[in-house]
């Protein structure tokens, strides 16, 4: 569809966000909210024909259906609203655009809006995704943090994942037995080859990371229940923003809460727990509790030394 400039996309996102936040809304109420947003509307009405055109464009662009009740107030709603709230790609895209809309309309206070830095690895993101669409082989020059020299090799890009402000690519190397994970900000050079590859039919990105806290995977290890004890004050933070999707609160009182997780407790999960300091104590399993305890002891041994 022609004419999808940045400003028009902002309007599409505003429409989706407004209807989704209100759950159901009449066209008259929608138009009032539209006129109140002078940054987008200029204070003018939203023509019904324009609204209908936007509905069609939104369905084509985002696969989001704006339907109406066809009775009573003839209110509009998002037919597949669950897809916008489940943390998937569509939800992430809409949320990102919504934040962008807010920031673009906040130039007068731009010096009072502080953002997190994201390394420049996203420069290769579009190239990788385009290669994924056509199953193209990538030639990559990569310099790992763990090696002194960079290496050059061909890889088959399977998927990408964002974790802790860094983009990662899961790819099968020509000379590797299993897929490996590469940080995009460690790529020195990347080129798409004419050669194609066949993605294994039984490979699934969600399944690959199932049971992982973040970017470290070990599919050969079984998932297990991890139980932690959290101080009452810190529990509020963990409760409001889950550490992992498997998180469950199984006990709570005025002094502490007990949370359980069902995952593979790798290094990145250990680091997440340790950053909470004395407010978090690992209860089970015992081997994991011992590992955390040994790390804390080694930390204490460093700090108790005199300079």
Q: Where are the beta strands (DSSP E) in the chain?
A: 66-68, 76-78, 136-142, 151-163, 166-173, 180-183, 187-196, 224-231, 248-252, 256-263, 280-284
Is residue 265 within 8 A of residue 271, CB to CB? The reply is: no
Fold held by 224-304: Alpha-Beta Plaits (3.30.70)
Per-residue pLDDT of 189-238, as tens digits, reads 999 999 999 999 999 999 999 999 999 998 788 999 999 999 999 999 99
Nearest to 76 by CA among 150, 29, 24: 24
Q: Give CA separation, 136 vs 16, 89, 154, in Å.
A: 34, 22, 10
CATH of 6-105, picked from 1.10.10, 1.10.3470, 3.30.450, 3.30.70, is 1.10.10
DSSP alpha helix (H) spans, 71-204: 89-104, 125-134
Write phi, then psi, for 36 (nearest 5 degrees).
-70, -25
* C-alpha to C-alpha distance for 71 and 276, rounded to whole angstroms: 52
Task: Specify the pTM.
Answer: 0.72
* C-alpha to C-alpha distance for 48 and 127, rounded to whole angstroms: 39
Q: Is the pLDDT of residue 170 over 70?
A: yes
pLDDT confidence of residue 4: 52
CB-based burial label for 228 (10 Å; 0-12, 13-18, 19+): buried
Per-residue pLDDT of 3-44, as tens digits, reads 455 578 888 888 988 998 888 999 999 999 999 888 788 889
pLDDT confidence of residue 3: 44
User: How does 142-151 read in b/e, with b if 16+ C-beta sit within 10 Å?
Assistant: beeeeeeeee
Six-digit token pair at 296?
């804390």
Per-residue pLDDT of 90-121, as tens digits, reads 676 677 766 766 676 667 777 777 667 776 66
* C-alpha to C-alpha distance for 79 and 67, rounded to whole angstroms: 6
Q: Is the pLDDT of residue 87 over 80?
A: no
Write phi, then psi, for 174 (nearest 5 degrees).
-55, -35
Q: Is the pLDDT of residue 247 over 60?
A: yes
Q: Give CA separation, 57 vs 32, 104, 260, in Å.
A: 22, 22, 43
Compute the mean pLDDT over every residue in the chain, rounded to the nearest whole number.
87
| Domain limits, the chain | 6-105, 120-208, 224-304
Q: What is the CA radius of gyration of the chain?
A: 24
Task: Report the share of the chain in percent with pLDDT over 70.
Answer: 87
CATH of 120-208, picked from 1.10.1740, 2.30.30, 3.30.70, 3.10.620, is 2.30.30
* C-alpha to C-alpha distance for 168 and 287, rounded to whole angstroms: 30
Q: Is the pLDDT of residue 147 over 80?
A: no
């Amino acid at each position: 569809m022609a004419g999808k400039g940045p400003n028009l996309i902002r309007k599409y996102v505003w429409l989706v966000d407004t209807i989704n936040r209100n759950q159901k809304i009449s066209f008259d109420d929608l138009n009032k909210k539209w006129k109140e947003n002078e940054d987008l509307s200029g204070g003018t009405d939203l023509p019904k024909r324009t609204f209908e055109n936007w509905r069609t464009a939104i369905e084509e662009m985002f696969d989001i259906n704006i339907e109406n009740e066809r009775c009573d107030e003839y209110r509009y709603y998002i037919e597949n609203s669950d897809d916008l709230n489940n943390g998937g790609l569509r939800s992430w895209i809409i949320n990102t655009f919504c934040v962008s809309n807010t920031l673009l309309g906040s130039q007068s206070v731009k010096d009072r809006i502080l953002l997190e830095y994201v390394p420049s690895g996203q420069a290769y993101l579009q190239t990788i995704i385009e290669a994924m669409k056509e199953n193209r082989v990538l030639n990559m020059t990569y310099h790992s943090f763990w090696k002194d020299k960079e290496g050059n090799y061909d890889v088959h890009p399977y998927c990408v994942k964002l974790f802790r402000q860094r983009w990662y690519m899961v790819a099968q190397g020509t000379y590797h037995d299993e897929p490996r994970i590469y940080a995009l900000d460690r790529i020195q050079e990347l080129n798409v080859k004419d050669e194609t590859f066949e993605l294994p039919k039984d490979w699934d990105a969600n399944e690959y990371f199932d049971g992982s806290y973040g970017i470290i995977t070990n599919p050969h290890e079984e998932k297990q229940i991890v139980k932690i004890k959290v101080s009452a004050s810190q529990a509020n933070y963990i409760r409001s923003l889950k550490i992992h999707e498997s998180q469950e609160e199984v006990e709570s009182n005025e002094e502490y809460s007990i949370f359980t997780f069902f995952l593979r407790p790798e290094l990145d999960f250990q680091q997440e727990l340790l950053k909470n300091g004395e407010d978090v104590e690992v209860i089970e399993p015992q081997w994991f509790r011992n590992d955390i305890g040994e790390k804390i002891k080694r930390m204490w041994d460093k700090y108790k030394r005199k300079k």
